[in-house]
């Protein structure tokens, strides 16, 4: 039987991430964070569901940041989102949580943004790529996004992506990922 996790320090997060959480004002993990973070840190696949505003992004972002190899500038985490607004929001959250991680780069990619800018940033390297299915597919087909070093993929708001008709796109992207990745 598990006991409730009252503090982030109980979740085996690095001092740099704990410092960020303290600066942001997070005092204790929400139920979704307490339930998800240990499983994701252990490398397990996970399906999580919680209402808006409960900290779902931190529930997956914090453990995935913890598992990054910052010396490897290939994408290690891919987050698929149904909309560009959510892609931007998730990328900003990753950037905020990683503020003390030296050399960390996150890149949002979505339609309506200049492909030239995205190409330049992909060439520079990004540890985390957050994007909409269509634009991620564009980059994969052009071979400007390479997923050989991918460790984890997140389907953020997967139910919404399904409702919006992205099932075939999501399945195609999943087929392009290494077989042993965390989902």
Q: Is the pLDDT of residue 79 over 50?
A: yes
The residue-averaged pLDDT of 38-45 equals 95
The residue-averaged pLDDT of 38-63 equals 93
Max CA separation in the chain (angstroms): 52
- What is the total residue count of the chain? 183
The residue-averaged pLDDT of 64-71 equals 96
Q: What is the mean pLDDT of the chain?
A: 94
Helix (H) or strand (E) holding 153: strand 152-155
Give the list of residues 6+ apart from residue 41 with CB closer than 8 angstroms, or none. 11, 12, 63, 66, 67
pLDDT over 90, % of the chain? 88
Question: What's residue 1's pLDDT?
Answer: 37
CB atoms under 10 Å from CB of 174, counted, come to: 14
| Tokens 């303290």, residue located | 22
Q: Is the pLDDT of residue 3 over 80?
A: no
Between the alpha carbon of residue 149 and those of residues 26, 49, 78, 177, the distances in Å are 31, 27, 11, 9
Are the C-beta atoms of residues 3 and 34 closer than 8 Å to each other?
A: no
Where does the pLDDT of residue 51 fall: very low under 50, low under 70, confident under 90, or very high at 90 and above? confident
Question: What's residue 2's pLDDT?
Answer: 53
| Tokens 């560009």, residue located | 84
3 state SS of 162 = helix
Give the list of residues 6+ apart from residue 68 with CB closer than 8 angstroms, or none. 76, 77, 101, 104, 127, 128
Question: What's residue 31's pLDDT?
Answer: 93
3 state SS of 7 = coil
Are the C-beta atoms of residues 139 and 118 closer than 8 Å to each other?
A: yes
pLDDT in tens, 83-120: 999 999 999 999 999 999 999 999 999 999 989 999 99
The residue-averaged pLDDT of 19-43 equals 94
Where does the pLDDT of residue 5 fall: very low under 50, low under 70, confident under 90, or very high at 90 and above? confident
pLDDT in tens, 140-176: 999 999 999 999 999 999 999 999 999 999 999 999 9
């Amino acid at each position: 039987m598990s006991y409730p996790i009252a503090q982030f320090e109980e979740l085996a997060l690095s001092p740099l991430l704990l410092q960020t959480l303290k600066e942001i004002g997070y005092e204790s993990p929400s139920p979704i964070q307490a339930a998800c973070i240990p499983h994701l840190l252990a490398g397990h696949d996970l399906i999580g569901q919680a209402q808006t505003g409960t900290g779902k992004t931190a529930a997956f972002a914090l453990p995935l940041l913890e598992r990054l190899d910052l010396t490897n500038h290939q994408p290690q985490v891919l987050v698929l989102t149904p909309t560009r607004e959510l892609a931007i929001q998730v990328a900003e959250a990753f950037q905020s949580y990683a503020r003390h991680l030296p050399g960390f780069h996150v890149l949002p990619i979505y339609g309506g943004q200049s492909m030239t800018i995205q190409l330049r940033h992909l060439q520079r390297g990004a540890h985390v790529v957050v994007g909409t299915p269509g634009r991620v597919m564009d980059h994969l087909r052009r071979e400007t996004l390479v997923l050989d070093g991918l460790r984890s993929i997140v389907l953020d708001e997967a139910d919404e992506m399904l409702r919006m008709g992205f099932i075939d796109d999501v399945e195609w992207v999943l087929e392009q990922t290494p077989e042993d990745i965390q989902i």
